[in-house]
Amino acid sequence: MAMPGKELLIRSGQNGKLWFGGALVCLSVVILGAAGYLARDFSSTEVFVASILATIIGAIGFAYTCRSVRCPKCGTRWFWRMVSKRPGDPRHWSIQHDSCNECEYDGRGGAR
């Protein structure tokens, strides 16, 4: 199934930001998994520090993505709208949208 929003993210230069934030979240999951798997080989303090570090990295990745993936024309934070607004809300943005739901920016040189 085609995802128009994916092409919009690429055309508008926001795709790399989404990938970077996602990579930070994935890194945090790997660190948490490694800390859990290797817990018996390390002290509880080291496992705790690794868990806190992983949580901070994941939170930074999520916050970065929420703040940086935005419409280049009007500044609407697309990812934030996707995670904070319910589907059906006119302000909700999803990967199925092929333009900004605020200013109609479509990444093809302007508004439709």
d(CA 69, CA 17): 6
More confident site: 88 or 68 = 68
pLDDT given for residue 111 in this prediction: 46
* CB atoms inside a 10 Å sphere around CB 76: 18
Answer yes or no: is pLDDT of 1 > 60: no
CA 69 vs CA 14, 18, 108: distances in Å = 6, 6, 17
Answer yes or no: is pLDDT of 15 > 50: yes
Q: Which residues have CB under 8 Å from 10's CB, separation 6+?
A: 107
Amino acid at 35: A
pLDDT given for residue 8 in this prediction: 82
pLDDT in tens, 61-82: 999 999 999 998 899 898 888 8
The shares of helix, strand and coil residues in the chain, as percent rounded to the nearest 5, are 60, 5, 40
pLDDT in tens, 25-64: 999 999 999 888 887 888 888 889 999 999 999 999 999 9
DSSP 85: S
Q: Which residues have CB under 8 Å from 33's CB, separation 6+?
A: none
